[in-house]
Structure 1
């Protein structure tokens, strides 16, 4: 009597990250510039200037992080995790209605739209790719694949992942939305302190 073989478990793939390199670079530069200016004001400033600089850093640094370093889309074999400036949305693949590209890249779930901040649309890059494709069609390299902006390539890859993984075990769950209080709370606190210092100055 032979023992039936158990079905091999489906392999779990590490998340693939989709983010904007230019956004990350811009965020690092802004944080460096802001830190240098605020540090100079706190060391060299007099009166309320050091406290105003400190409050400004507390208020603005989380916002810079939120809009530049924080946004990312993680894609695994069971779900897509969208980390936007102030929210993190976890969407199982089976729940996705459409991944749409227009003036922004978006994921639609039961009529609700979530923007993908980490995959920004560049109209300039699209026009550049269109001109490059036109040159290819007129030249000797007409058999090459049409040029496409990196964000459009990322969206196409996400569509392929959604279609391929929608039937995976674990891809049929509930959508969860979590607010980024670690960003919101210090930004609001810093803004309040800054306003109070200005009002009582």
Structure 2
């Protein structure tokens, strides 16, 4: 009796060597906490002390405002690993394998450009002109004092040196502080600009890697848009009824 031969199984995709590193704006989160506290305080006060249509208007207003504040403050984040870049913006999530990234641009906003020409803004990495000016002043002082550039920080994935592991740190804070420049003698950059430079280096190193291939996917955040639209509709009806 012969035993059946087993066909070789198809190779399974390997998981990224390093887990996602997450970037958020601490300033946006702090602002979100403050705004939500004010909205809930005023809203519940109107609901429990108001009369007539006021409680219903307050409830509809909170249903509209809370998702929007959450979307623009707590939700934005950038997830990075050695295979892809995942951008979570207020109303959608964009997953970009490094092979689909054509470039990363920093102007008055930070954005990623795909090989097809589409652009996606990185809401979690805001541009701070103030931080850029502070970094420029630090660079000028260092040059005047004859000091070498900033020391190399630990990489995006906890390593140092050239290549993927030699990228700058991916801090969770906002782009509001002058950051290390990445290598001795390199110019000092604002934290947000340094983060974008790190992403460019990672994209250059991983664009042709086997695990970094694939298509761009976009998912809309219906869990945010749905409640906001419902609150807007109820509020409009209450205002129209008078």
Alignment partner for residue 83 of structure 1, among 70, 80, 88?
88
Deviation string 1:180-199 (CA, Å, 9 cap, x unpaired) is 11111111110110111111
TM-score, reference length from structure 2: 0.76
1:50 to 2:91 alignment: no
Residue 215 of structure 2 corresponds to: 174
Residue 152 of structure 1 corresponds to: 193
Aligned mates of 1:115, 1:97 — CA distance in 2: 14
Residue 99 of structure 2 corresponds to: 94
User: Gaps (5+ residues) in structure 1?
Assistant: 1-8
Q: Where do 4+ consecutive residues of structure 1 move more than 6 Å?
A: none
Residue 24 of structure 1 corresponds to: 29
Structure with the larger helix share: 1
Q: CA RMSD in A?
A: 1.5
SS at match of 2:211: coil
Residue 118 of structure 1 corresponds to: 124
Aligned mates of 1:66, 1:77 — CA distance in 2: 27
| C-alpha deviation, 1:10, in angstroms | 7.4
Residue 240 of structure 2 corresponds to: 199
Asked if structure 2 preserves the Cα contact closer than 8 Å seen for 1:87 and 1:178, the reply is yes
Aligned mates of 1:105, 1:127 — CA distance in 2: 17
TM-score, reference length from structure 1: 0.90
1:14 to 2:55 alignment: no
Farther off after superposition, 27-36 or 146-155: 146-155
